[in-house]
Amino acid sequence: MQDLAGLDMPRKPPTFDGVALLWGLLFSLFSASAQVMACSQSCHCIEKSSMTVVQCMSRNLDKIPSDLPRNTVVLLLAANHITHIPNNAFRELHYLQEVDLSNNDIETVDFGAFQGVSDSLLFLDLSNNRIKSVPKEAFARLRAKISLSNNPWHCECTLQEVLRELRLDPETVNEVICHTAVQEEYAGKSVIQVFDSGINFCNFHHKTTDVAMFVTMFGWFTMVIAYVIYYVRHNQEDARRHLEYLKSLPSSSQISKDCDTISTVL
């Protein structure tokens, strides 16, 4: 029998399904790589050890770009015209460690703005914006060091509760100022100075609410009393008129006398 070991046996050509599967896999890998590595058109990206620093400073942006590389570690968005941080703004950036949004026009921060990055984020700069207040949930579970200096903060109960849970940047913490406050005497003072003095805006809020409720209840009580007095006086007037009408009618004795007189005449 002829030894077949040394013969070059014809190889079975790949089937169409196998080729399609191979090309599909390569395309998927290429697409995933492109999605991770592609830089935003509005920014400049620098690659460092397979991680990306995205530089979007002074680009006249009015919102946070949505086409950021997924391997972004540092995101620099300072000196733009961004006014709002929406929900899930950084949700796909699972490696994000630093965000600089200083020197923008930010006024509102949605309650879910930092969802998805609460575990990875190490530093967040929101200084020099126009933020007056934030919802309690906005910074929930964030462990990052945060700079909130030079914003027109309105010091009240919610802000006090939010700041108690944050790691404020110690280098800028004294620049977090109460631009306005529920108690006017604290306007212009640093938040830390106010809080360290033992002021609790939440107690003041509750007292204000209690006073407002008391005033409202007193107003309703006054209206009820006024209505009762009006109702009584109105009924008294009707009763008086009815009594005068009854008095104006001839009495039964007078009618009887008149009948007797008529009988006598007849």
pLDDT tens-place string over residues 230-255: 666 767 766 677 666 656 666 555 55
**pLDDT over 70 at 206, yes or no:** no
Give yes or no for a contact between 59 and 80, defined as CB atoms under 8 angstroms apart: yes
User: Residues 57-85: what's their mean pLDDT?
Assistant: 97
CB atoms within 10 A of CB 217: 10
Least confident of 21-30, 82-91, 130-139, 187-196: 21-30
Give yes or no for a contact between 122 and 144, defined as CB atoms under 8 angstroms apart: yes
pLDDT for 37:
57
pLDDT for 5:
44
User: Residues 157-180: what's their mean pLDDT?
Assistant: 94
165-179 in b/e burial notation, b at 16+ Cβ within 10 A? Answer: ebebbeeebebbbbe
Which one of 3.40.630.10, 1.10.10.10, 3.10.129.10, 3.80.10.10 gives the CATH number of domain 36-199?
Answer: 3.80.10.10
CB atoms within 10 A of CB 246: 8
107-154-139-74 Cα dihedral, nearest 10 degrees: 50
**pLDDT over 50 at 9, yes or no:** no
Residues linked to residue 168 through DSSP beta bridges, in sequence order: 146
When pLDDT is cut at 50, 70 and 90, the band that residue 175 belongs to is very high
User: Residues 19-32: what's their mean pLDDT?
Assistant: 38
For residue 193, what are the contacts with CB-CB under 8 A and spacing of at least 6?
Answer: 174
Q: Which of 12-26, 28-42, 179-193 has the highest mean pLDDT?
A: 179-193
When pLDDT is cut at 50, 70 and 90, the band that residue 27 belongs to is very low
